[in-house]
């Protein structure tokens, strides 16, 4: 049976280090890290994520601001807020929660965030740095950064010679994840909805990352014996009428655990790491601003 990778615990370790480093930055006369989280509209899942980000920032000793805008907010008004936050010296990290309502061009908003405050790592400067392996000065997107820490807990930092398959090609997870695995010397394949014979490809992976947003699509026999399985999916499913929704990943956990060497659970795997890495990125930004 696989080792279950406890992302909640590793996330708490990261947050504890961020708290300590924040206290010593303040003692040394540096800036108090400031995080601004912006949400447009009332999507319940987004509200839960945003509230936990703001709460965790406070817990780290950060200055934490939440800007909740109505669903009908115009693109111009949102861009105006981003400009204000770009210019605010108390803010080191700006996160605009996605998805945004249809009247707003998300790409335009993401590109408007100053690169040095883009703690999500989504704008072209940060994407480009990750693409060329300039990881030290980049903001690495929080979910893939958290996945890498979990992988390193199993394999160490140098993943030379390991084969990785990333299922999913999103800009938020799949593509940056593939770049990070490549930078760590893995042989990487990105698979997606048009990939032929996904099961056979997945079985070649020493490290299998599932980031497609489809409940339990990765079956037990897709997993190579001894592989490390990282499940990025958070899917709400209701199996019977009247039953409470439960959270499942993109991996059929029980089956996959029989083949995997190590596997992340849902919940309690990648999710807590995403928030922890947002705190780490905001702290890094405050350090850079403090000179
Ligand atoms: N929506 C889902 N995941 C994310 C994320 O990592 N950052 C932002 N800004 N929005 C998201």
Q: What residue owns the CA closest to ligand 1's atom 3?
A: 98
CATH 3.30.420.10 applies to domain 142-271: no
CA distance 216 to 210: 10
Distance from CA of residue 283 to its chain's centroid? 16
Peptide linkage before 104 cis (omega within 30 of 0): no
The CB of 96 under 6 Å from ligand 1? The reply is: yes
CA distance 260 to 51: 34
CATH code 3.40.50.10860 region(s) in the chain: 29-116
What is the value of pTM for the model shown?
A: 0.97
Ligand 1 atom with the shortest distance to the CA of 141: 6
Separation of 120 CA from ligand 1 center, angstroms? 7
**Sequence ranges of the binding site for NADP(+):** 168-170, 234
Is 43 known to be catalytic? no
Predicted pLDDT of residue 64: 98
CA distance 79 to 42: 19
Is 206 known to be catalytic? no
The CB of 54 under 6 Å from ligand 1? The reply is: no
From the list 216, 211, 225, the residue with the least C-alpha distance to 165 is 211
CATH code 3.40.50.720 region(s) in the chain: 142-271
Annotated catalytic residue, options 53, 129, 175, 224: 53
Q: What residue owns the CA closest to ligand 1's atom 9?
A: 97
User: Does residue 152 contact residue 273 with C-beta atoms inside 8 Å?
Assistant: no
Is 28 known to be catalytic? no
The CB of 142 under 6 Å from ligand 1? The reply is: yes
- Segments in the chain below pLDDT 50: none
The CB of 138 under 6 Å from ligand 1? The reply is: no
Separation of 98 CA from ligand 1 center, angstroms? 5
Annotated catalytic residue, options 56, 117, 118, 120: 120
Domain 29-116 CATH (choose: 3.40.190.10, 3.10.450.50, 3.40.50.10860, 3.20.20.140): 3.40.50.10860
Predicted pLDDT of residue 190: 98
For a mutational test of ligand 1's pocket, the pick from 49, 85, 141, i.e. the residue with the most ligand atoms closer than 8 A to its C-beta, is 49
Peptide linkage before 99 cis (omega within 30 of 0): yes
Predicted pLDDT of residue 194: 96
The CB of 98 under 6 Å from ligand 1? The reply is: yes
Predicted pLDDT of residue 242: 82
Predicted pLDDT of residue 132: 95
């Amino acid at each position: 049976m696989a080792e279950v990778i406890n992302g909640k615990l590793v996330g708490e370790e990261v947050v504890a280090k961020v708290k300590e480093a924040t206290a010593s930055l303040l003692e040394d006369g540096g800036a108090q890290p400031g995080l601004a989280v912006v949400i447009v509209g009332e999507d319940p899942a987004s509200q839960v994520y945003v509230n936990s980000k703001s709460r965790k920032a406070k817990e780290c000793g950060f200055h934490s601001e939440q800007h909740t805008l109505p669903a009908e907010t115009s693109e111009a008004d949102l861009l105006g807020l981003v400009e204000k936050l770009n210019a605010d010296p108390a803010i080191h990290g700006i996160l605009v929660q996605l998805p945004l309502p249809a009247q707003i061009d998300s790409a335009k908003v993401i590109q408007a965030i100053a690169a040095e405050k883009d703690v999500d790592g989504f704008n072209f400067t940060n994407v480009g740095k990750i693409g060329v392996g300039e990881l030290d000065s980049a903001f690495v997107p929080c979910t893939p950064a958290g996945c890498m820490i979990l992988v390193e807990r199993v394999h160490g930092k140098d993943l030379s010679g390991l084969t990785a398959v990333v299922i999913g090609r999103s800009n938020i997870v799949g593509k940056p994840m593939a770049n990070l695995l490549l930078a760590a010397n893995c042989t990487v394949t990105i698979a997606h909805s048009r990939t032929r014979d996904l099961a056979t490809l997945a079985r070649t992976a020493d490290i299998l990352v599932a980031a497609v947003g489809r409940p339990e699509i990765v079956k037990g026999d897709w997993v190579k014996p001894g592989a490390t399985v990282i499940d990025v999916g958070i899917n709400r499913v209701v199996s019977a009428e009247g039953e409470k929704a439960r959270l499942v990943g993109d991996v059929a956990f029980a089956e996959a655990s029989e083949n995997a060497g190590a596997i992340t659970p849902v919940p309690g795997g990648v999710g807590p790491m995403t928030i922890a890495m947002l705190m780490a990125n905001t702290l890094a930004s405050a350090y850079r601003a403090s000179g």
